[in-house]
Amino acid sequence: MKKRKEFLSYGKQWIYDEDIEEVVKALKSDYLTTGPAILECEKSLCKYIGCKYAVLFSSGTAALHGAMFSIDIKEGDEVILPAMSFAATANVVKYLGGIPVFADIDKETYTITKETVEPLINKKTKAIIPVHYTGQPCDLDELNQLCDKYKLKLVEDGAHALGAKYKGKLLKSFRDMMMVSFHPVKHITSGEGGVIFTDNKEYYNKLIQFRSHGITRDNDFLENKENAAYYYEQQFLGYNYRLTDFQAVLLKSQLKHLDFFLSKRRKLANEYFLALKDFEEIVCPFQADYGESSYHLFVINLKDKYKDQRDFIFNEMKKRNIGVNVHYIPIYYHPYYKKLGYKKGLCKNTERLYEGLITLPLHPKMEKEDVLEVSQILRECLDLVK
Ligand SMILES: *Cc1c(COP(=O)(O)O)cnc(C)c1O
């Protein structure tokens, strides 16, 4: 039995010494939270991505919550999103009393499409949250057309998609807003953290206020015109969703490595495509020609006749020190959502994909040799079920 010497995790951060030095400087400065680093980091992110506004949050989930608040999601509003995602994508709708409506994914791209979304639209539908799953962009032109036709908002869950391209352009918020997460397994990290990108000033103002209890000090926005220098107003119910200054410093420093991380991920993904191309038991991720993936994840899908062996293969890989994972359990399989009345059978392609999914390790610290080793071990594990 071939076994890897040390455990290889499916995803991992890469913190440079220079990143650490920046954080230490910040810790010795006057500001631990909301100092100059927040705005500086937001500006750097905007510059990189080519967007007007960026608002940092304490997590990607908090950021997406802010986005849902900014488009005014309320009790009973329906929001269409994929079940092939992390629970947070649906939870942010629930936080505001909205109703997540799960759209199925396309069999090839693993993303929601015009065909899967349009039949679910009705009078209560307010928004769509496409997930750029694994870093592969959704077909945004098509979803945008739906938003025009039915007057819907489009908020992208781009947790996986920092640096991904759609029709030659970096993803940055196609219509209303896009969220990116800075959790350690994502492209760059601030420990916890997230951001909303938008070109819309109104959303920007709301997000800033939502991040800090619904409070404003801005004279232009005060409802009661008080002149006192200490005066501020809480105008709606917001949260404390602020990122700390030393996290923002870390993120700004990490941003310098992003291009290298992206090129490394793309190279490693290509090595996987090459190494796995003759594995007849599995399907490798299809790449839509309209986009360029940022390869947050490399997922393989076992063909139908091997799907009932997924857990066995998964466990055999783990025994050999390969940190496989499954992204994702369909959101409505979780007990919380089951109890709300969502039932198996809702999204057939999603459920079928889930049964065959295995996420292979992919992160910039890996080398070609790691990809070859994972592939050889996968070969050995697949041979066990022949
Ligand atoms: C990571 C992730 C989130 C949540 O981001 P956090 O920063 O962990 O709160 C949301 N959606 C998807 C698809 C994710 O992968």
Q: How sure is the predictor about 365, in pLDDT bands with cuts at 50, 70 and 90? A: very high
Distance between CA atoms of residues 77 and 100, nearest Å:
9
What are the tens digits of pLDDT across the range 69-87?
A: 999 999 999 999 999 999 9
**For ligand 1, atom 14: residue with the closest CA:** 159
Q: Which atom of ligand 1 is nearest to the CA of 296?
A: 15
189 in contact with ligand 1, CB cutoff 6 A: no
Q: How sure is the predictor about 227, in pLDDT bands with cuts at 50, 70 and 90? A: confident
> Is the pLDDT at 90 greater than 90, yes or no?
yes
Q: How far is CA 34 from CA 10, 179, 207, 241, 311, in A?
A: 33, 20, 15, 11, 45
pLDDT value at position 229?
86
Q: How far is CA 290 from CA 55, 90, 102, 159, 271, in A?
A: 28, 27, 24, 19, 21
Give me the amino acid identity at 276: L
363 in contact with ligand 1, CB cutoff 6 A: no
Q: How sure is the predictor about 246, in pLDDT bands with cuts at 50, 70 and 90? A: very high
> Is the pLDDT at 220 greater than 90, yes or no?
no
> Is the pLDDT at 363 greater than 90, yes or no?
yes
111 in contact with ligand 1, CB cutoff 6 A: no
Which of 59, 86, 182, 239 has most ligand 1 atoms within 8 Å of CB, for mutation? 86
Q: How sure is the predictor about 377, in pLDDT bands with cuts at 50, 70 and 90? A: very high
Which of 61, 65, 182 has most ligand 1 atoms within 8 Å of CB, for mutation? 61
pLDDT value at position 20?
98
**What region does 97 belong to: left with phi over 0, alpha with psi -120 to 50, or beta?**
left
173 in contact with ligand 1, CB cutoff 6 A: no
87 CA to middle of ligand 1, Å?
A: 8
85 CA to middle of ligand 1, Å?
A: 9
pLDDT value at position 324?
98
Round the average pLDDT of the chain to a whole number and report it: 97
88 in contact with ligand 1, CB cutoff 6 A: yes
Q: What is the CA radius of gyration of the chain?
A: 22
384 CA to middle of ligand 1, Å?
A: 35
Mean pLDDT in residue range 209-220: 94
Strands (E), the chain: 53-57, 78-82, 99-103, 125-128, 153-157, 165-166, 169-170, 177-181, 194-198, 215-216, 233-234, 282-283, 291-292, 298-302, 357-360
Q: Which residue has the tokens 């000090």?
A: 217
158 in contact with ligand 1, CB cutoff 6 A: no
Q: How sure is the predictor about 58, in pLDDT bands with cuts at 50, 70 and 90? A: very high
Q: Which atom of ligand 1 is nearest to the CA of 62?
A: 9
Nearest 5°: phi and psi at 203? -60, -45
pLDDT value at position 360?
98
pLDDT value at position 72?
98
Mean pLDDT in residue range 226-231: 84
Which of 59, 79, 183, 188 has most ligand 1 atoms within 8 Å of CB, for mutation? 183
Give the pair of three-digit tokens for residue 364: 């910039």
Distance between CA atoms of residues 358 and 299, nearest Å:
6
DSSP3 helix / strand / coil % (the chain, rounded to 5): 40, 15, 45
Distance between CA atoms of residues 375 and 271, nearest Å:
10
What are the tens digits of pLDDT across the range 116-161?
A: 999 999 999 999 999 999 999 999 999 999 999 999 999 999 999 9
**For ligand 1, atom 15: residue with the closest CA:** 159
Mean pLDDT in residue range 357-384: 98
Which of 56, 134, 136, 157 has most ligand 1 atoms within 8 Å of CB, for mutation? 157
pLDDT value at position 193?
98
pLDDT value at position 1?
86
What are the tens digits of pLDDT across the range 286-304?
A: 999 999 999 999 999 999 9
Q: Which atom of ligand 1 is nearest to the CA of 133?
A: 13
116 in contact with ligand 1, CB cutoff 6 A: no
157 in contact with ligand 1, CB cutoff 6 A: yes
**For ligand 1, atom 6: residue with the closest CA:** 60
- What is the SS3 assignment for 247? helix
- What is the SS3 assignment for 288? coil
Give the pair of three-digit tokens for residue 144: 């945008």
* CB-count burial class (<10 Å; 0-12, 13-18, 19+) for 335: exposed
